[in-house]
Structure formats: structure tokens, C-alpha cells
Amino acid sequence: MQASKSRTNVSARLQRILLRLSYGFHRVWIRKKRISWVVGVYEISSMAHHMARLIPGSYSVVLSTKSYYAFDYDWKLPVRKPSVWAELLAGLMGPLLLGRLLCQAEGFIFLGELGFLTMARDSRSFEFDFIKAHGGKIVCYFVGTDIRSPMLLREKEKETGLISLGTQLVTLDPKFGSEMHERSRRELARVAEEFADAIFSYSVDQLSYLKSPTIPVTYFFPDEDFVFNEEKFENPKRIVVVHAPSSPEIKGTALVRTAIQNLKSAGYDFEYVELIGVDNESVRRTLASAHIVLNQFYAYVPGVFGIEALASNCVVLMSADERVEPDLPKGSNLAWIVTTYEQVEENLKRVLDHPSQMAGQAKRGQNWALENVSFSKAGPRFREELDRLLPNTR
């Protein structure tokens, strides 16, 4: 244990040295900043790709290996599968990239909790301090477990009466319920508030130790990827119900399977499609012809899969609820069927019993997505937030 910690400390010091050398070298040769925002350094549910597309003059960096997405980035780790080699390469390139980009870019948008200095265990404190000391802006964009405190969420359960992701995470892995994990969330929040020029997060779904006001998280979905397939609701031969959990344990998959089995035993005839470990392109193809989507049942917000389902003109059942999460746009609860973990079978049965109402519900959901998360609507609102930080680059 001690030897492992010592090796980590040595690796972190080496990365800091590489960062200083890289910055010193590139500062001599780079005279003009041509990049507005660097977006990265890890892909989370296509957010890095979509965000970079929306920001003029941006530069996307991905230091991780992801098999679900086949996007192009301005720089990505040239290794597809996780390995020791991939970790070593990310450890080498991270500080070298940061040193160069700090000479080229006005600001950095960090998705999640990780940074360029992959071996650091300081909640990005050194990295953020270095960026700020050399004139860079910092945006922290938290999207879930990266900032969420299971302990605080479990306290919130007493108020809402609903089992939350806090409890599910601890059930999935006891480490999420440890004091060590809580300390890491406190430190991550402290560092973000000390250095970040703006912080995006959900105030309840991502309940955390952040004390200062945050900007609500925005999802982004390309206008051209919306699927306008209302014909699928016109006398379908068989209703298609889809569930595609990224993490079955915390999305309510066990509840979904029980509901499906009970309804089929009761004589309901529909096709159930469950997608786990499938690439994003395959998921979206399935959604295009799906009628009903069972999303997640412990979260207070839609999540990326929920957005994809709404954009694909599906009737969506999920626990996202504007009455619990005030950062959701007003009227959100009309866009989907609010369904707690106790209501999965009941609400799915109600939809199946009234097939003529599906098209209208799906249309309300798609209209919500067009207004709130499409590139054409959400993009300008997001850029306005960034423009406040870099007014001279508009």
C-alpha cells in the first residue's frame, strides 16, 4: 500500500515537471492564442464531442479509451482498449498537451472530475492553480457521480421519501458510502470553488458539497439527429419497449425486468428490447423504431439516454421530476411520464392500455427536447454563459 502510494507520488511529480517543461517550451514559439476553449479531457456520454461542436474555435481532447462512441476529436488517445500502455500514454501526453494548450487557449472546460495530470491525487488543485497562474479560465462541468455525495443524497431521501442514486451507489459498491469517498467529494468541491470561473451542476440530483451558486447542466443534441417518425404509432403490429442501461444496478434494471415479466404473464403482447454494452449508434437505431422507453428510476434528471429517447419520438418513463430537481425547465414533467421505482409496472401498463395516447405523449417529449436540448436552442444559451467569461473572444 505504502509502495503504491509512493509510486503515485513520484509519477505525479514527474507529470508536474513535464507540464512546466512543455509550457516553457511552447511559450517561446506560440505568440497568439487561437483556441477559445479546450474541452475534455474525458468523454462522458458524448458530451465532449457535442460541446466542442457548439463552441467556435474550440479544441477537444480525450485521454480515455471509449468503445461506445466513434467520434473524432482534435486529439484523442490512439489506443482503443484500456491497458497499461494506454495509462502510460495518457500519463505522458496529459501534461505535454496541457502545457501546449495553455499557450494556445483562453480557457478549459473540464467534464467530470479528472484532469490532464492523470496521476495527481489532489482533486486537480495543482493543475487548476497552474492554469490560473498563467491566465487561463476554468469551467467545471459536473455530470453525475463525479461530484454527487451519496451521504447527502441519502439525507435527502428522508425529505423526498424516494430512494435515490445515493443509496443505489452504496449498494453497488460500499466504497461510495465510505468517509474516504465523502472526503474526496468535499475536496473536489473545494478545489472547484477555489479556482473555477464557472461551475455547472444539478443542485439536487447531483447534491454535493458545492456551496456557491451553480449553473444548471445542459444536455446537447444535434438537430439533425432528431427522429420524426410519427408513423410508427399508426397501427403498429407490435409495441416495442426499450431499456438500455449504462449501469443496470443504478438505473433500475431489476425493476424493469420484473415489470416486463409480470405484464407478459398477464397477457400483454409487446416486444421488449434490452441493450447493455451496445455502441451508441446501435442504441439510436433501435430508438428510431421504438414506441416506449424505460429510462432510469432513481435519478431526478433525464440523463443522456433519456434525451436521446425523447429526441427519437418515444414515450419515455423515468423518475426525472421537476418537483424534486428545480434546475429542470418548467413544464418538464409533461414531456415524459414521471415514474418512480415503485411505479414502473403500473405506469407501463397504463401506457399499454391506451395506445392511442402514445403519439401525443411522444410528441410532447420531442417538442421539449427541441426547445431545451437541441443544438439550435441549447447551444446559444450555453455560449452566452461562456461569452461572459471570455468577452473579448465573441
**Eight-state DSSP code of residue 217:** P
Locus of grid cell 513520484: 10
First to last CA, the chain: 50
* pLDDT classification of 393: cutoffs 50, 70, 90: very low
- In a 13 Å sphere around the CA of 251, the CA atoms on its Cβ side amount to 22
* pLDDT classification of 162: cutoffs 50, 70, 90: confident
Q: Are 270 and 241 in contact (CB under 8 A)?
A: yes
Cis amide leading into 41 (omega within 30): yes
pLDDT tens column, 79-127:
777 788 889 999 999 999 999 999 999 999 999 999 999 999 999 999 9
* pLDDT classification of 246: cutoffs 50, 70, 90: confident
pLDDT tens column, 299-338:
999 999 999 999 999 999 999 999 999 999 999 999 999 9
Reference 78, options 60, 90, 68; nearest CA is 90
- Is 90 exceeded by the pLDDT of residue 7? no
pLDDT for the residue numbered 394: 44
pLDDT for the residue numbered 165: 84
pLDDT tens column, 137-148:
999 999 988 999
Buried b (16+ CB within 10 A) or exposed e, 40-75: bbbbbbbbbbbbbebbeebbbbbbbbbeeeebebeb
Reference 118, options 64, 45, 72, 51; nearest CA is 64
Reference 295, options 281, 314, 282; nearest CA is 314
pLDDT for the residue numbered 295: 96
pLDDT for the residue numbered 32: 85
pLDDT tens column, 39-79:
999 988 889 999 999 999 999 999 986 656 778 899 998 87
pLDDT tens column, 195-205:
999 999 999 99
pLDDT for the residue numbered 67: 58
Report residue 254 CA to chain centroid gap. Answer: 23
Reference 108, options 53, 36, 44; nearest CA is 36
Give the whole-number percent of the chain exceeding pLDDT 90: 77
Phi, psi of 193 (to 5 degrees): -70, -30
DSSP element (H, E) containing 62: strand 59-62
- Determine the Cα–Cα distance for residues 147 and 44; give it in Å rounded to an integer: 14
More confident call, 32 vs 190: 190
Secondary structure tally for the chain: helices H, strands E: 14, 11
**Eight-state DSSP code of residue 163:** -
Q: What is the overall mean pLDDT for the chain?
A: 92
pTM for the full model? 0.93
- Spatial neighbors of 213 by CB under 8 A, at least 6 apart, are none
- Determine the Cα–Cα distance for residues 62 and 43; give it in Å rounded to an integer: 6
Q: Write out the three cell numbers for 246.
A: 449504462
- Is 50 exceeded by the pLDDT of residue 278? yes
pLDDT for the residue numbered 171: 84
pLDDT tens column, 368-380:
999 999 999 999 9
Mean pLDDT lowest for which of 157-166, 281-290, 381-390? 157-166
Amino acid present at 342 = E
pLDDT for the residue numbered 37: 97
* pLDDT classification of 392: cutoffs 50, 70, 90: low
pLDDT tens column, 198-237:
999 999 999 999 999 999 999 999 999 999 988 999 988 8
pLDDT for the residue numbered 20: 97
